[in-house]
């Protein structure tokens, strides 16, 4: 009744922003992402009749309030699936700063789904696991799959699932995560999804997302970095255009976020194949080829306000952990 | 045949971004601005049969290329109105950095219109002068009037004019111009207007601008800083949402731009009546009451990347200059 799983975070090239059903995390558009190999969350879950109440320890600290309630709600879902009435103990440990716009809820709930289902002795299909993980966090559906992943919007729970478009070894791209802040962001993503519709940019973004999907699918299948990068930047700027014009507005960027984006554009003007994208946070993902990665990662670290970088390759699906966190 | 005029720049609370007719600078929505008393451009114009070709000296340097062509085209317009075939000499001198998103083309062409018409011995009505200045730069129409100014979109040249909603002494607000860059911006406003329609945010912004107009008109008439400031910020963020999602995208912000915006929001959380707005550039306008101005201006100067501030009060209509620039 105890199991551990390690799942990678992911970065979206067509974003999920704004929900059809915010409770079930049903999105309004399909999205496409890359699962990452060096931004991971390890989760151990134990269900036991000897545990008196759910114990949720995230990143070494007891979770409280809204965060704990979200995890417990997900445990309830797992218990319902497993026909279990047991309380659980959960612990997580990530290799990257959480709640900073690096999709830590994606890797957390993907790992929780995989570990939790294993702990309950359940073995659903990968497609089913993606829908279950989605109940914890929308983008967690994508982190259940390895490599280049599409999350199909669907319209009801069982139809909103993710699948691997192409596996991790399809295209040796590098994602340099540029960390400009390790502080939890002021506006959580769930509040952002709820506010998104109030932005005058929302419907325009949604229409554009459907065009972007076709472009990104083709870019992945043909390994076209320019096409992928161009859309990835447009999607990032559109997402932030929506957040900063929503009610209430959210400006996730820090000064260094702008410095990194401008530097990427400057490098492109100089001929380097390098592109940025961001989710809802201040930290930036910078994409380039393996050969340009060392030089670009070093130069990024020299930008004022950049704390460190984390170089990722395409990552695989979650794996069982052989050592438990407790 | 020589005349000088001093005109103030202006800052818009409902913005002009995207044109119905980019040649005649006919906008798609009415806009409302405040003319500023400390961000001025002084222009001397002389028409003379003894001048062999148009001589255009802006800010102490001979204008060239696109910039010179724009001024000469405006001189052609003035000559047409005055039935003159004379070439002209023009000189300008501003009290603030030009081409940095502080509406220097507004004060330049407002002063050129006033000085040029005087030099030609013409005395059209203020309304006519606003339409003439508009041919040089859209927002110059607003700088022909003092105080709180509305520019009526109209739909053809003679109907697209500006008028004073309330005079400069109506409301003793302060505009602290926060200069984070004196370098000319990379994307000129004219290119931005042309690209605006390609943004998926454009139509949403336009619809919102019409709601904002009613709110800002009322805010000015009732001296409601909270209402004015709230809309001024929304309009700024919407304008930048459009520019950064247009094709090609333009990111006018610098790291310090973000730092200033975030600081203004922090001050508001602390209870201070302070708001920002920006036009298409990196520099920021920070609005507050006279009593809070010294403290806020000092604190703004301490933000990394802020070069200096320029404190403005509401300004009047252009005035004739008694000393010529040449």
We report the CATH number of the domain holding residue B121 as 3.30.230.10
Return the DSSP state at A200: T
Question: Same structural domain for residues A152 and A18?
Answer: yes
* Min Cα–Cα distance to chain A from B313, Å: 28
Asked if the structure places residue A221 within a domain, the reply is: yes
Query: Are B265 and A251 inside 8 Å of each other by CB?
Result: yes
Query: Are A245 and B305 inside 8 Å of each other by CB?
Result: no
**Residue A188 confidence (pLDDT):** 80
Which H/E stretch holds residue A106? helix A104-119
Q: Of A152, A170, A188, which residue sits at a domain end?
A: A170
**Minimal Cβ distance to B255: which of A203, A256, A265:** A256
- The SS3 call for residue A7 is strand
Return the number of other C-beta atoms located less than 10 Å from residue B226's C-beta. 11
* Min Cα–Cα distance to chain A from B321, Å: 42
Question: Same structural domain for residues B117 and B245?
Answer: no
pLDDT at A322 over 90: no
**What is the mean pLDDT of the segment spanning B200-219?**
97
**Residue A227 confidence (pLDDT):** 98
**Residue A191 confidence (pLDDT):** 85
pLDDT in tens, B92-113: 999 999 988 888 999 999 999 9
Query: Are A244 and B241 inside 8 Å of each other by CB?
Result: yes
For residue B189, name the pLDDT band (cuts at 50, 70, 90): confident
Chain A contacts in chain B segment 179-218 (CB below 8 A): 199-205, 207-208
B245-B248-B253-B255 Cα dihedral, nearest 10 degrees = 100
Question: Same structural domain for residues A145 and A189?
Answer: no
**Residue A46 confidence (pLDDT):** 98
Residue in B closest to A248 by C-alpha? B234
Question: Same structural domain for residues A190 and A164?
Answer: no
pLDDT at B311 over 80: yes
Q: Of A170, A205, A226, which residue sits at a domain end?
A: A170
**Residue A239 confidence (pLDDT):** 97
Measure the CA angle with vertex A275, ends A273 and A279; round to 5°. 160
* Min Cα–Cα distance to chain A from B238, Å: 6
**What is the mean pLDDT of the segment spanning A244-255?**
96
Question: Same structural domain for residues A30 and A96?
Answer: yes
pLDDT at A288 over 80: yes
pLDDT in tens, A107-128: 999 999 999 999 999 999 999 9
**Total number of domains constituting chain A:** 2
CA distance B114 to B120: 10
Query: Are A237 and B244 inside 8 Å of each other by CB?
Result: yes
Return the DSSP state at B198: T
User: B46 - beta bridge partners?
Assistant: B2, B89
Query: Are B244 and A262 inside 8 Å of each other by CB?
Result: no
Asked if the structure places residue B88 within a domain, the reply is: yes
Domain enclosing residue B201, as ranges: 174-312
- The SS3 call for residue A306 is coil
**Residue A244 confidence (pLDDT):** 97
Above pLDDT 70, what percent of chain B?
100
We report the CATH number of the domain holding residue B234 as 3.30.70.890
For residue A58, name the pLDDT band (cuts at 50, 70, 90): very high
Asked if the structure places residue B270 within a domain, the reply is: yes
Chain B contacts in chain A segment 49-68 (CB below 8 A): none
CA distance A315 to A167: 9
Asked if the structure places residue A323 within a domain, the reply is: no
Query: Are A237 and B255 inside 8 Å of each other by CB?
Result: no
CA distance B54 to B47: 9
Residue in B closest to A206 by C-alpha? B200
**What is the mean pLDDT of the segment spanning A7-18?**
97
User: B94 - beta bridge partners?
Assistant: B41
Asked if the structure places residue B304 within a domain, the reply is: yes
Question: Same structural domain for residues B178 and B300?
Answer: yes
Residue B138 · residue B31 · CB < 8 Å? no
Instruction: Enumerate the residues of chain A whose CB falls inside 8 A of the CB of residue B200.
Output: 201, 204-205, 207-208, 238
**Residue A256 confidence (pLDDT):** 98
Instruction: Enumerate the residues of chain A whose CB falls inside 8 A of the CB of residue B241.
Output: 201, 240-242, 244-245
What lies within 8 Å, CB to CB, of B30 at 6+ separation is B14, B150, B151, B152, B153, B213
Query: Are B254 and A258 inside 8 Å of each other by CB?
Result: yes
Q: Across chain B, what does the average pLDDT equal?
A: 96
Question: Same structural domain for residues B105 and B197?
Answer: no
For residue B235, name the pLDDT band (cuts at 50, 70, 90): very high
**Residue B322 confidence (pLDDT):** 87
Question: Same structural domain for residues B199 and B92?
Answer: no
Return the number of other C-beta atoms located less than 10 Å from residue B36's C-beta. 28
**Residue B192 confidence (pLDDT):** 86
Question: Same structural domain for residues B272 and B222?
Answer: yes
Q: Across chain A, what does the average pLDDT equal?
A: 96
For residue B185, name the pLDDT band (cuts at 50, 70, 90): confident
**What ipTM does this complex have?**
0.93
Q: Of A145, A170, A195, which residue sits at a domain end?
A: A170
Chain B contact for A150 (CB, 8 A cutoff): no
Whether the pTM exceeds 0.90: the reply is yes
Residue A115 · residue A3 · CB < 8 Å? yes
């Amino acid at each position: 009744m105890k199991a551990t799983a390690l799942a990678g975070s992911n970065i979206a090239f067509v974003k999920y922003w704004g929900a059809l059903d915010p409770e079930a995390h049903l999105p309004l558009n399909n999205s496409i992402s890359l699962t990452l190999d060096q931004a991971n969350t390890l989760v151990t879950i134990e269900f036991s009749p000897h545990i008196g109440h759910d114990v949720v320890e995230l990143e070494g600290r007891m979770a409280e309030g809204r965060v704990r309630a979200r995890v417990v709600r997900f445990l309830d879902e797992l218990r319902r699936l497993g026909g279990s009435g047991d309380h659980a103990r959960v612990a997580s440990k990530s290799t990257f700063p959480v709640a900073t716009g690096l999709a830590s809820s994606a890797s957390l709930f993907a790992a929780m789904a995989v570990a939790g289902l294993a702990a309950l002795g359940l073995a659903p299909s990968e497609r089913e696991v993606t829908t279950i993980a989605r109940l914890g966090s929308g983008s967690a559906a994508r982190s259940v799959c390895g490599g280049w992943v599409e999350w199909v919007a669907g319209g009801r729970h069982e139809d909103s699932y993710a699948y691997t478009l192409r596996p991790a070894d399809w295209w040796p791209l590098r994602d340099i995560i540029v960390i400009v802040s390790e502080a939890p962001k002021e506006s959580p993503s769930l509040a952002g999804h709820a506010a998104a519709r109030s932005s005058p940019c929302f419907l325009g973004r949604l229409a554009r997302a459907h065009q972007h999907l076709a472009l990104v699918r083709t870019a992945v299948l043909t390994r076209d970095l320019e096409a992928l990068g161009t859309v990835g930047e447009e999607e990032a700027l559109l997402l932030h255009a929506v957040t900063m014009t929503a009610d209430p507005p959210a400006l996730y960027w820090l000064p260094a976020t702008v410095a990194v984006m401008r530097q990427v554009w400057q490098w492109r003007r100089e001929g380097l194949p390098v592109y940025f994208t961001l989710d809802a946070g201040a930290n930036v993902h910078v994409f380039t080829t393996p050969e340009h990665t060392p030089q670009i990662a070093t130069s990024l670290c020299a930008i004022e306000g950049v704390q460190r970088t984390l170089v990722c390759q395409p990552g695989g699906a979650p794996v069982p952990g052989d050592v438990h966190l407790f």
